[in-house]
Chain A
Amino acid sequence: MEHYNMNLTLKVWRQRNSKEKGRFETYKVENISSEMSFLEMFDVLNEKLITEDKEPIAFDHDCREGICGACSMYINGKPHGPWKANTVCQLHMRAFNDGDTIVVEPWRAKAFPVIKDLVVDRSAFDRIIQAGGFISVNTGNAVDANAIPVDKESADKSFAAAACIGCGACVAACKNSSAMLFVSAKVAHLSLLPQGSPERKTRVVAMINQMDKEGFGACTNTNACEAACPKEILVTNIGRLNHEYMTATFTADK
């Protein structure tokens, strides 16, 4: 790959805390290498701000390899930026050109209040999992792992849904701030496996109820979530979720 350096203008959302109002601030960064990651570019900017006695920009991040789901920036109107199936931490500066202006905002959703700058509170996702996103098996109760074969197709589909990293980009991308893709991924992961089927009905109902309580919006099938999802979670999971929910609520044998 040919590398090049670039000068950029950044418009970044700054907000002191959840109570104060936020605003955009403009920053210039120079000599950014096309080989840097987007977050490394932010590191460079933050170092500069600190040296100039200014407040660095707060953002969530940890693994920096696209798996922990911490990073969460809305870049030029897209959650996680311009690349498909990608997280911000994996976005590299070769996606940009010299002279570009880049607008960076936090996830915006009622259920994800801003903590500071680009950092939001996504604990609503944990509470949805608490409501039912698990299989009730205590340590020590398990049978031999090969006692229950799982057909490869179901296993693969379950795995594909389980790949969700809980980042919240689906919510950020949705005009209704719906969490359906996230919830459907968890429901699909567990209900596609024989181990998860005893709790199928209670799980889906409990998770949906919690989702509504958290203030996420309704799904109107715009598919913006799928397009933004870094792990390519499919909207077909939402279809499955709706089906499971209907079955669970209409067969009231519980």
Chain B
Amino acid sequence: MLDAKIPEGNLNSKWTDYKGHCKLVNPANKRRLEVIIVGTGLAGASAAASLGELGYKVKAFCFQDSPRRAHSIAAQGGINAAKNYQNDGDSIFRLFYDTIKGGDYRSREGNVHRLAEVSANIIDQCVAQGVPFAREYGGLLSNRSFGGVQVQRTFYAAGQTGQQLLIGAYQALERQVALGNVAMYSRHEMLDVVLIDGKTRGIICRNLITGELERHFGHAVLLCTGGYGNVFYLSTNAMGCNVTAAWKAHKKGAYFGNPCFTQIHPTCIPVSGEYQSKLTLMSESLRNDGRIWVPKKQNDARKPNDIPEDERDYYLERRYPAFGNLVPRDVASRAAKERCDAGYGVGSSKQAVYLDYADAIQRYGKIEAGKQGIHNPSSEQIKQLGDEVVKEKYGNLFDMYEKITGENPYEVPMRIYPAVHYTMGGLWVDYELQTTVPGLYCLGEANFSDHGANRLGASALMQGLADGYFVIPYTIGNYLADEIRTKEIPTTHPEFEETEKTVAARIEKLMSIKGNETVESLHKRLGKIMWDKCGMARNAAGLKEAIEEIRALKKEFWSNVKIPGSIDEFNPELDKAGRVADFIELGELMCIDALERNESCGGHFREEYQTEDGEAKRDDENYMYVSAWEYKADEQWDLHKEELKYDVVHPTQRSYK
């Protein structure tokens, strides 16, 4: 059994006790300790800024041209915090409880409670940095609600919350760059970790402009490299999101936790054609006011506005009266798939449902007319006032929808369909965010830690910033305190040389294949296998087929991939090839993991295990554990289990009815 090193004692005091007793590094020694941070999204930028402020020597890396462009920038809806500013009954305990329940009882109590405890500090920190969250007329912060909860605890900046939070962290990071505490390496991709005597001592990375390989030493390495949703080819992630850093670490001994736990987001713009390169999310916040429906008649070809009220099936409100349109993502996604599979889907592909704002526009229009003292407003007036309110709340999302589809969502309901969005799985880490390799840490979406089998909306931003601002500054000290006598290891050390050689050999191998199929087309084929067989619904037979298909695809990749250009230049196709090769291996492990877990929980829906009314059926007796996979050799993994103990919450069948 794996030990997560969760502190003993009462749930409420674990983190306080930990902080009170962990080892510290004095300021003079911090200056001599070097920390490498790979990734400068919310998790990495916040960690780099905070560790730089503490006085560590930090080197930070990202593959984009600037840290400000990390995928975190795209987060729309908001960030949770147990502030209880709305006085609606929120508390640290409730945020903790909602997250554990939302994760379908597959996450750690200790971690999640710590997350809820520091959530309030995150908001304070961000506001102090100048993050312009939405405010009320009185000048105080505004909140909205999000799926899976019944309080309003989500802080937001229109539909650009991730952007504003990232810019806050980016600016803090750039301030440390100016002060000389952080050295920033943009357009660099980490391609391996260097281990010396069993400890992490550095990385090999590639300068993406010149193609040169570089060696960097660090007393510890933090991977903050984001999620791997792009293993499905189509997802809401940015084009560059990849698993490479985590995968290299995995192959060097870091266990991979719950790789099959993937979140499929219910409200995305549907696929429009073969050329589709990515999918666009319509923020979950839209489910606050929008109503989801399909026609009651199968294959109804009428235009949405021609379908009368009593011929519409508001299926979420029907099936889940207590939470209605605000059920958690996994539940909403499966419900949409169920309706479409049963022949009620809409749009030309029939793989879509409606998200309708007509009611909300009416409701807001009437309230606004009342506020402005307009008696007996005309229906045009109501519509216009309602449109204005909706525009203020969701304007940028509506614009985005119109740009992509060419349809005006103020007039016709939006068409949406579930899409891959987030990966709960990731490198296994203990309470200190350390992987199974000493000195190698993992933060943010790249780790598996806090969301169990399903993440609640607005909690990824919270987790990334909790990890970077408030957790790692303590836990890394506990490790580095014992490293103060370790001098900087020259990068001419044989382990550095050896690792660089392996990296170079792989790149040369890739370039030498000179086959006939493009990276893109192989990636697409992987995505299709994953989506069809390891996507929203999975079954044993399909997963076994998928594993065989992926192995065959891997052979094909390594004998037939076609990569243009050369090694020593700016070559995005080569970068992509390396990433896709890693995705293929990861895909296999995801299917193996999904096959091993003979239960349904959260986003992992095994068709064999469902209740009579089609809900996920957990098996707590046999599967109340984290699956942590150890890489042994090509296509071979050993499973280690971390038992999940619930001292405070009592797992029950999750119900949102």
Write the residues of chain A forming the contact surface with B, with a CB cutoff of 8 angstroms.
1, 16-17, 33, 35-37, 39-40, 43-44, 47, 49-51, 53-56, 58, 60-70, 83, 85-86, 90, 92, 94, 115-116, 119, 121-123, 125-126, 129-131, 133-146, 148-152, 155-156, 158-159, 162-163, 165-166, 189-190, 193, 195-196
- Tell me the residues in window 263-294 of chain B with beta carbons closer than 8 Å to chain A beta carbons: 272-273, 275-278, 280-281
Which listed residue (A56, A68, A166) contacts B238, Cβ 8 A? A68
Give the CA-CA distance A195 to B573 in the complex, in Å.
44
B405 contacts chain A at the CB level, 8 A cutoff: yes
Interface presence of B174 (CB below 8 A): yes
Chain B contributes a number of interface residues (CB within 8 A of A) equal to 83
Complex Cα–Cα for A142 and B177 (A): 21
Q: How far is the CA of A69 from the CA of B67 in the complex (A)?
A: 11
Q: Is there an interface contact between A47 and B520, defined as CB atoms closer than 8 Å? A: yes
Choose among B126, B157, B564 the residue with the greatest number of A CB atoms under 10 Å from its CB: B564
Known contacts A36-B275, A40-B276, A64-B278: A142-B400 contact under CB 8 Å: no
- Is A65's CB under 8 angstroms from B564's CB? no
The reply to whether A39 and B132 form a contact with Cβ atoms under 8 Å apart is no
- Say yes or no: A189 contacts B130, CB within 8 Å: yes
- Which residues of chain A come closer than 8 Å to B521, judged between CB atoms? 47
Name 24 interchain pairs, CB-CB below 8 A, sorted by A.
A36-B275, A37-B404, A40-B276, A40-B277, A44-B275, A58-B572, A61-B239, A65-B280, A66-B400, A68-B73, A69-B73, A129-B171, A129-B174, A136-B175, A140-B469, A140-B470, A142-B125, A145-B126, A145-B141, A149-B139, A152-B137, A162-B167, A193-B132, A195-B128
Q: Which residues of A contact B399 (CB under 8 A)?
A: 85
Establish whether residues A134 and B520, one from each chain, have CB atoms under 8 Å apart when the complex forms: no
Q: Does B338 contact A (CB under 8 A)?
A: no
CA distance A136 to B276 in the complex (A): 43
For A163, the chain B residues whose CB sits under 8 A away are 160, 163
Q: Does B150 contact A (CB under 8 A)?
A: no
CB distance from B576 to the nearest CB of A (A): 11
Partner of A69, one of B69, B121, B139: B69
Q: Are A142 and B238 in contact (CB under 8 A)?
A: no
Chain B residue at smallest Cβ distance from A161: B132
Of A51, A83, A123, A193, the contact of B130 (CB 8 Å cutoff): A193
Give the complex CA separation of A92 and B403 in angstroms: 7
Seed contacts A47-B518, A70-B69, A146-B141; 17 additional CB < 8 Å A-B pairs: A37-B277, A47-B521, A51-B562, A56-B564, A64-B277, A64-B278, A65-B281, A70-B64, A126-B184, A126-B186, A135-B129, A139-B473, A143-B128, A155-B133, A155-B139, A163-B163, A166-B66
Contact, CB under 8 Å: A39 / B85: no
Task: Verify B53–A142 contact, CB threshold 8 A.
Answer: no
Closest to A164 in B: B167
> Does B488 have its Cβ within 8 Å of any Cβ on chain A?
no
Q: Are A126 and B174 in contact (CB under 8 A)?
A: yes
Do the beta carbons of A155 and B135 come within 8 Å of each other?
yes
Known: A37-B277, A139-B473. A145 touches B160 (CB 8 A): no
Is A195's CB under 8 angstroms from B74's CB? no
Listed from nearest, the 3 A-B pairs whose CB atoms lie closest are A149-B139, A1-B406, A134-B171
B136 contacts chain A at the CB level, 8 A cutoff: yes
Assembled-state Cα–Cα distance A159/B161 (Å): 11
Q: Please, how many angstroms separate the alpha-carbon atoms of A136 and B53 in the complex?
A: 11
Q: Collect the chain B residues with CB atoms within 8 Å of residue A33's CB.
A: 273, 275
Q: Which of A1, A49, A195 has the most CB of B within 10 A?
A: A195
CA distance A166 to B73 in the complex (A): 12
| Contact call A43/B140, Cβ cutoff below 8 A | no
A83 to chain B, nearest CB (A): 8
Q: Are B238 and A63 in contact (CB under 8 A)?
A: yes
- Write the B41-52 contact mask toward A (1 if CB under 8 angstroms, else 0): 000001001100
Q: Is the CB of B239 within 8 A of A40?
A: no
Tell me if A67 and B570 are in contact (CB < 8 A): no
Q: Is B113 an interface residue (CB 8 A)?
A: no
Q: CA of A159 to CA of B570 in the docked complex: distance in angstroms?
A: 36
Known: A1-B407, A17-B569. A162 touches B520 (CB 8 A): no
B139 near A151 with CB under 8 A, answer yes
Of A39, A122, A126, A131, most B-chain CB atoms within 10 Å: A126
A62 touching B64 by the CB < 8 A rule? yes
Alpha-carbon separation in the docked complex, A145 to B131 (Å): 11
Q: How far is the CA of A139 from the CA of B129 in the complex (A)?
A: 9
Complex Cα–Cα for A69 and B186 (A): 15
Digit string of B12-25 for contact with A (CB within 8 Å is 1, else 0)?
A: 00000000000000
Asked whether any CB of chain A lies closer than 8 Å to the CB of B301, the reply is no
A123 touches B65 (CB 8 A): yes
Contacting residues, chain A, for B562 (C-beta < 8 A): 50-51
A112 to nearest B CB, angstroms? 11
Which residues on A sit within 8 Å (CB–CB) of B65? 60, 70, 121-123
A126–B71 Cα distance when bound, in Å, is 17
B172 within 8 A of A: yes
Is B68 in contact with A69, judged by CB distance below 8 angstroms? yes
Q: A53's closest neighbor in chain B, by CB? A: B564
Chain A residues in 8 Å Cβ range of B281: 65
User: CB of B164 within 8 A of chain A?
Assistant: yes
Shortest Cβ distance from A190 into B: residue? B130
Point out the residues of chain A lying under 8 angstroms from B275, CB to CB.
Answer: 33, 36, 40, 43-44
Asked whether, in the complex, the Cβ of A149 is within 8 Å of the Cβ of B518, the reply is no
A196 to nearest B CB, angstroms? 5
Q: How far is the CA of A36 from the CA of B406 in the complex (A)?
A: 11
Chain A hits for B470, CB < 8 A: 139-140
B243-276 near A? 1/0 per residue, CB < 8 Å: 0000000000000000000000000000011011
Q: Looking at the complex, which one of B67, B124, B400, B518 makes contact with A90 (CB distance below 8 Å)?
A: B400
Alpha-carbon separation in the docked complex, A86 to B506 (Å)? 40
Partner pick for B209 among A49, A55, A115, A135, CB 8 A cutoff: A115
Which A residues touch B69, using CB under 8 A?
62-63, 68-70, 166
Nearest CB to that of B403 among chain A residues? Answer: A90
Out of A1, A39, A92, A165, which one reaches B277, CB within 8 Å? A39
Chain A residue contacts of B133, Cβ below 8 A: 145, 155
Cβ-based interface call for B649 (8 A) = no
Cα–Cα, bound, A85→B85 (Å): 35
Closest to A119 in B: B570
Q: Is B33 in contact with chain A by the CB < 8 A criterion? A: no
Q: Is B373 an interface residue (CB 8 A)?
A: no
How far is it, in angstroms, between the C-alpha of A152 and the C-alpha of B461 when the chains are bound? 24
Residue pair A142, B128 in contact (C-beta under 8 Å): yes
Q: Is the C-beta of B625 less than 8 angstroms from some C-beta in chain A?
A: no
Q: Are B73 and A134 in contact (CB under 8 A)?
A: no
Shortest Cβ distance from residue B553 to the other chain A in the assembled complex, whole angstroms: 18
Contact status B407-A35, CB under 8 Å: no
A99 to chain B, nearest CB (A): 20
Nearest to A133 among chain B residues (CB) is B171
| Interface flag for B123 (CB, 8 Å) | yes
Inter-subunit contact B139/A150 (CB<8 Å):
yes
A142 and B121 contact, CB distance less than 8 A: yes
A-side contacts of B140, CB under 8 Å: 146, 149
- Tell me, rounded to whole Å, the shortest Cβ–Cβ distance linking B318 to chain A: 31
